[in-house]
Amino acid sequence: MAVVTNTEYGALPAVQITAADGSQATVSLFGAHLLSWKTGDGKERLFVSAQTPLDGSKAIRGGVPVIFPQFNVRGPGLRHGFARVSTWRLTGSGGDGGQSFLEFGLNQNDLAPEHAQAWPHAFELTLRFTLHGDALDAQFTVHNSGAQAFPFGLALHTYYDVGQLAATSISGLQHMRCTDHHNETLTQEHPALHFTEKLDRLYQSTPTLTLNTANATLRLEQQGFDNWVVWNPGQDDARALVDLADDEYLRFVCIEPACADQRPLAAGAKWTGKHRIAAD
């Protein structure tokens, strides 16, 4: 049986689930933010900055920030949206038979007044994390519970602990077109994407990618998302981020299933995206 406990991460109330095989996930209610995912061997798979505030004053730098209702500045509202700075509800937990889950919900009644005013729509977000052997599944649903369509963008902005950036690469993007941070469109020629400088790229989605690090291979799968975003700030941008130590950029990459451009959701409709991260 899975064991679910209430805990704290920094000053943030969090929920921890431990599966029968010892794999474990810790999620703060602030942002429904996955802060730690350990596989059954005890290995931490996610990166969290040592400099990030953990008191709800700011979005958390690391783990899996939930981005909604807009990606970055691709919309009229708050950069990367309000979901990562809102307090969600735990709506379910439990599991057996090798599947242990935590589920979180957020709707318009949970929002701070300034966010509800800036984005005046009725909605219900559901995010379920499931531990499944050496894999973690995230299922993200957006329900338009109002009477009018609304536009949205989103992402699961996952920070992977890669140990050494220089020994890290991503395969599965060869021949894919992408847009970089200069807004230039290019085609990736090499089979593997390496990190030798700042990288901020938006690719069209593919069903599967592989993240290769010095110590691990992770297989990333998605269904329902439009894009993969790949980000590492590089040395100069890392220095400018107050919630990241100067050399921490050498320890993580973000690989994010996303719907970066705003898309409409009709009244009563639901969008669902699925993401699986499987360790070898």
Ligand X SMILES: O=P(O)(O)OC[C@H]1O[C@H](O)[C@H](O)[C@@H](O)[C@@H]1O
* Site string (73-112) toward ligand X, x via CB under 6 A: ------xx--------------------------------
Q: How far is the CB of 143 from ligand X (least distance, A)?
A: 25
* Residues that contact ligand X, how many (by CB under 6 A): 7
Q: How far is the CB of 60 from ligand X (least distance, A)?
A: 9
Q: Facing residues of 170 across strands?
A: 193, 211
Applying CB under 6 A, among 2, 25, 131, 254 the residue interacting with ligand X is: 254
Applying CB under 6 A, among 124, 134, 137, 200 the residue interacting with ligand X is: 200
Q: How far is the CB of 33 from ligand X (least distance, A)?
A: 12
Applying CB under 6 A, among 231, 251, 252, 278 the residue interacting with ligand X is: 231
Choice between 73 and 269, CB closer to ligand X: 73
Question: Would residue 143 show up in a list of annotated catalytic residues for this protein?
Answer: no
Q: How far is the CB of 46 from ligand X (least distance, A)?
A: 15
Applying CB under 6 A, among 14, 138, 178, 229 the residue interacting with ligand X is: 229
Name residue, tokens 């590492």: 232
Choice between 173 and 229, CB closer to ligand X: 229
Q: Does 261 bind ligand X (CB under 6 A)?
A: no
Per residue, what are the HEC states of the chain?
CCEEEEEEECCEEEEEEECCCCCEEEEECECCEEEEEECCCCCECECECCCCCCCCCCCCCECECEEECCCCCCCCCCCCECHHHCECEEEEEEEECCEEEEEEEEEHHHCCHHHHHHCCCCEEEEEEEEEECCEEEEEEEEEECCCCCEEEEEEECEEEECCCHHHCEEECCCCCEEECCCCCEEECCCCEEECCCCEEEEEECCCEEEEECCCCEEEEEEECCCEEEEEECHHHHHHHCCCCCCCHHHHEEEEEEEEEEEEEECCCCEEEEEEEEEEC
Choice between 129 and 231, CB closer to ligand X: 231
Of 67, 43, 255, 228, nearest to 169 by C-alpha is 255
Q: Which of 121, 143, 248, 256 is catalytic?
A: 256
Question: Would residue 157 show up in a list of annotated catalytic residues for this protein?
Answer: yes
Applying CB under 6 A, among 39, 72, 168, 227 the residue interacting with ligand X is: 72
Q: Which stretch binds ligand X (CB under 6 A): 15-23, 72-80, 106-114, 205-213?
A: 72-80
Taking CA atoms, 215 is separated from 151, 162, 171, 280, in Å, by: 40, 8, 16, 10
Q: How far is the CB of 3 from ligand X (least distance, A)?
A: 32
Q: Does 180 bind ligand X (CB under 6 A)?
A: no
> Catalytic residue numbers?
157, 256
* Contact residues: ligand X, CB under 6 A: 72, 79-80, 200, 229, 231, 254
